[in-house]
Amino acid sequence: MAAVTPDQLHGHHAPRGVMRWLTTTNHKDIGTMYMIFSFIMFLSGGVLALTIRAELFKPGLQVVQPEFFNQLTTMHGLIMVFGAIMPAFVGFANWMIPLMIGASDMAFARMNNWSFWLLPPAAILLIGSFFAPGGATAAGWTLYAPLSVQMGMGMDLAIFAIHIMGVSSIMGAINIVVTVLNMRAPGMTMMKMPLFCWTWLITAYLLIAVMPVLAGAVTMILADRHFGTSFFNAAGGGDPVMYQHIFWFFGHPEVYIMILPAFGIVSQIIPTFSRKPLFGYASMVYATASIAILSFAVWAHHMFATGMPAAGQLFFMYATMLIAVPTGVKVFNWIATMWRGSLSFEPPMLWATGFIFVFTMGGFTGLICAIAPIDIQVQDTYYVVAHFHYVLVAGSLFALFAGAYYWLPKWTGHMPSEFLGKLHFWCSLVFFNITFFPMHFLGLAGMPRRIPDYALQFADFNALASVGAFGFGLSQLIFIVVVVKCIRGGERAAARSWESAEGLEWTVPSPAPYHTFEEAPVVR
Amino acid sequence: MNRASGMHAGDHYFVPEPSKYPIVGSVALLLFGSGAALWLNAVPAGRWMFFLGIATLIFMMFGWFGQVVRESQGGRYGRRVDKSFRWSMGWFIFSEVMFFAAFFGALFYARVLSVPWLSSGDNAALLWNGFSGAWPTAGPYAADPFTPMAAWGIPAINTLILLTSGVTLTFAHYGLLNGKRGQLKLGLAVTILLGAIFLALQAYEYIHAYEALNLRLESGIYGSTFYLLTGFHGMHVTVGAIMLTVMLFRTFAGHFSPEHHFGFEAAAWYWHFVDVVWLLLFVVVYWL
Ligand code: HEM
Ligand SMILES: [Cu+2]
């Protein structure tokens, strides 16, 4: 067993059972809890999504009422964004960043615990709001005024849930920034850091900058709802469009918060299975930073149809298209890493290459949406739904699975089943495309989003999408089997679980001992 | 694995033992959030949950910060922990800056864009006939007329007070650095006093605004931005004053040395931040 520090011995014996998890200050415990929590949220959000798809299987109203349908789309978005994707990446950060930079733990271990344990209360408020009088908020995950000013108590619960999640994110982000800047082992210079740490450092800055803005936006809604203010009320000199500006000032950086760590994970995996170092490490760092900086100057591309002076439309259109440049640099570098590599396609690599392929399609549809005259046609149609599911599901979620398969040996000490991992991948890839590819056509043909019923000509593609969605949902159960099997046994994993995997995390045994790097390693 | 040999105790980074405070804080915020939502929707139990939440939060903060102070006094924080605190406080203040930025942004948007739009073009011709759009305004459909807050009365005095408090705080800091504890205590006490006077004047100003000027939260976009900006600023002054008060008590208890006093510095940074926000407020909310 690794040496126990005096700090840890201090309490005579570590708490056991539930108390261990409630009080832990260990980054691995906390990382595990983040990931379990986010997976539970992923399944809950998934149930809502499947209810939506069941309703949309054929025209007419059969499963739910329109009011409830809108609650479903709203809560699906909120739960997936704030409950599933974001916490999952924080879980990866908790587990891996200290291991990658040779730190004994996160910089603020106690605050780390609080960052996690704020999430369950927020989830209780959010999910509990379904049972409030009038049900959950149905204003869409973007909570646009004036709808959000008019909803019932569910809206207030959602506002407080967002406040609590914001506190959690800001504390988590500050923790990550400080850990990366201050806890690196001797010799681990910034430009030697694994790319995952770089992408998270930049993501953490984004979080610190925009989560407070979201808090401000929902606070204004709260004030408009209950305290008589007129931020979003034209009669009082305010403007509902102002809400959209404030929200998307948060919202666009937010989508990069959900994709930059994914870029980091993929940049760890591709070199390992290409058996070559990452192509263009420095340009990856600069590309990440420029994406982050640009992301503050593009928010109104979500508002082309809302009304804006032409100069504004042009500015936001060109600024948005500019983001495609650093994004393209990244995709180029991944491909160049694979070019003439000695490739093998174990599950992590399958997911990572799948990510590149499908995420890039999402990037292209993003570019199409960025063209103002086109976007005025497709805004609020299923085309946008297709776009953001290509970047969020095939982007963020696929990268999360890639990372999970890559580091499961380090977490559990056993290799994940290769067969099941591949099955999981192929089922997900196929069903994902069956679900979301037809949505491009639906959107171009004019089917609006967030509508429980639709015109007859959309029926076939919708039926197809619903079948795909149920297939996709069921495929995720394979992952549960993989993880449970991996925890309970299987092929023993070596310290360096994948041949030619680089990085400090592969120098500690698998599973990683409870305490690692209590004496900092020296990096040369 | 490389194990460096020459590490000495000072390089060991302090990792705290398991702690029950975070989960207490989570329960507190659960009570706070659900209580507030219920209370706002006229469910009687909500109010009690809300206050119970706040009480639990205060209990948690006492316990947690108390433990941090004990750990610090026990010499368990090395130089690197100190550096971590510095980074984190800096970024925390930056996140606060962004919170205020949302409200300043709303004020900017209203004054520069939405109000002029409401009073020009089709809006003026078809909808809000006769709305001049001059700032300050309660909007085209204003319920009651109000008098805006003048800059050169209490607000100007408050500006002077806060600026002076920044000076007295620096005076205290120099006392600490030069080992003059008397100067430290005096400077801190005067700073806190100035903060309290500021808050009292602010409270008086609110009462005056409601009773004499008919300037309310309901007074359209002017009232909205005025009260939320100054209100959140006032809350931050309160928090800053509490932090400084804690530092004063710690000084009496003999804490802080000329080399090692980050707690004091953090509170001072926060106070200066609150100061700068006020200057901005004074210019764009009261003056211009
Ligand atoms: C090349 C990069 C990208 C470009 C040019 C781009 C562009 C756009 C544009 C113009 C819209 C607005 C469409 C509309 O509402 O009419 C949009 C929507 C959206 N994008 Fe992207 N995007 C990109 C990458 C991403 C990434 C990486 C993510 C997340 C991981 C993302 C998530 C979203 C989401 C969630 C929405 C819809 C929000 C809503 O209305 O509910 N996008 N994107
Ligand atoms: Cu965007």
**pLDDT tens per residue across span A280-308:** 999 999 999 999 999 999 999 999 999 88
Query: pLDDT tens-digit profile of A54-77?
Result: 999 999 999 999 999 999 999 999
Residue A79: DSSP 8-state: I
Q: Which residues are CB-contacts of B122 (< 8 A; sequence separation ≥ 6)?
A: none
Tokens linked to B258: 């000329």
Nearest CA to ligand 1 atom 8: A366
- Write down the pLDDT at residue A15: 85
> Quick one: pLDDT at residue B143?
64
Per-residue pLDDT, averaged over B108-132, amounts to 88
The secondary structure of residue A371, as a DSSP letter, is: S
- The answer to whether the CB of A359 falls within 8 A of the CB of A396 is no
Cα separation, A243 vs A230, in Å, equals 11
Of the candidates B227, B179, B39, B1, the residue with the CA atom closest to the CA atom of residue A230? B227
- Asked whether residue A12 carries a pLDDT value surpassing 80, the answer given is no
Average pLDDT over residues A432-461: 97
Active site residues of A: 76, 105, 141, 168-169, 252, 254, 256, 267, 301-302, 327, 330, 449
Average pLDDT over residues A31-45: 98
Q: How much is the average pLDDT of B14-34? A: 96
Express each pLDDT in A239-283 by its tens digit: 999 999 999 999 999 999 999 999 999 999 999 999 999 999 999
| pLDDT score of B228 | 98
Which SS3 state, helix, strand or coil, does residue A304 take?
A: coil
| Strand (E) or helix (H) holding A446 | none
Q: Is the pLDDT of residue B230 over 90?
A: yes
Please state the separation of Cα A519 from the chain's center in Å: 33
The answer, yes or no, to whether residue B5 has pLDDT greater than 50, is no
Closest atom of ligand 1 to A395 CA is: 30
Amino acid sitting at position B214? N
Measured in degrees and rounded to the nearest 5, phi and psi for residue A448 equal -75, 155
Q: How far apart are CA A500 and CA A511, in angstroms?
A: 18
Q: What distances in angstroms separate CA A416 from CA A351, A421, A499, B131, one per listed residue? A: 14, 7, 15, 69
Residue of B nearest to A157 (CA): B37
> Can you tell me the distance from the alpha carbon of A4 to that of B81, in angstroms, rounded to the nearest whole number?
19
Per-residue pLDDT tens over the stretch A101-143: 999 999 999 999 999 999 999 999 999 999 999 999 999 999 9
How many CB atoms are located within 10 Å of the residue B17 CB? Answer: 19
- Residues in Cβ contact with A408 at an 8 Å cutoff, skipping those fewer than 6 apart: A414, A415, A416, A482, A483, A486
Residue by residue, DSSP assigns A142-201 as TT-TTHHHH--HHHHHHHHHHHHHHHHHHHHHHHHHHHHHH-PPTT--GGGS-HHHHHHH
Q: What are the residues facing A414 on neighbouring strands?
A: A492
- Taking only the tens place, the pLDDT of each residue in B139-198 is 888 667 889 888 899 999 999 999 999 999 999 999 999 999 999 999 999 999 999 999
pLDDT in tens, A340-385: 999 999 999 999 999 999 999 999 999 999 999 999 999 999 999 9
Who's near A154: CB < 8 A, 6+ residues apart?
A71, A129, A130, A132, A134, A135, A136, A137, A138
Question: For residue A470, is pLDDT > 80?
Answer: yes
Cβ of A258 below 6 Å from ligand 1: yes
Q: Which residue in chain B has the smallest CA separation from A126? A: B34
- Integer Cα distance of A326 and A323 in angstroms: 6
Q: What are phi and psi of A105, to 5 degrees?
A: -170, -170
Q: Torsions phi, psi of A277, nearest 5?
A: -65, 160
Of all protein residues, the one whose alpha carbon is nearest to atom 23 of ligand 1 is A366
Interface contact flag, B94 A209, Cβ < 8 Å: yes
Average pLDDT, chain B: 92
C-alpha–C-alpha distance, residues A81 and A267, integer Å = 23
CB contact under 8 A, A519 and B7: yes
Looking at residue A467, what is its pLDDT? 98
- Separation CA A456–CA A462 (nearest Å): 10
What pLDDT digit, counting tens, does each position of A178-196 carry? 999 999 999 999 999 999 9
More confident residue, B132 or B192: B192
Res. A21 pLDDT band, cuts 50 70 90? very high
Residue with tokens 């650095």: B177
CA B284 to chain centre: 18
Whether B33 sits inside 8 A of A209 (CB atoms) is no
pLDDT of residue B236: 98
* Atom from ligand 1 closest to the CA of residue A369: 10
Best probe residue, ligand 1, of A255, A359, A436 (max atoms within 8 Å of C-beta): A255
- Residues in chain B within 8 Å Cβ distance of A153: 37-38, 40-41
Write phi, then psi, for A420 (nearest 5 degrees).
Answer: -65, -35
Q: What are phi and psi of A185, to 5 degrees?
A: -65, 155
Whole-number pLDDT of residue A209: 98
Over chain B, what HEC string results?
CCCCCCCCHHHCCCCCCCCCHHHHHHHHHHHHHHHHHHHHCCCHHHHHHHHHHHHHHHHHHHHHHHHHHHHHHCCCCCHHHHHHHHHHHHHHHHHHHHHHHHHHHHHHHHHHHHHHHHCCHHHHHHHCCCCCCCCCCCCCCCCCCCCCCCCCCHHHHHHHHHHHHHHHHHHHHHHHHCCCHHHHHHHHHHHHHHHHHHHHHHHHHHHHHHHHHCCCCCCHHHHHHHHHHHHHHHHHHHHHHHHHHHHHHHHHCCCCCCCCCHHHHHHHHHHHHHHHHHHHHHHHHHHC
B227 contacts on A by Cβ (under 8 Å)? 229
Please indicate whether, in this complex, the C-beta atoms of A7 and B76 are within 8 angstroms of each other: yes
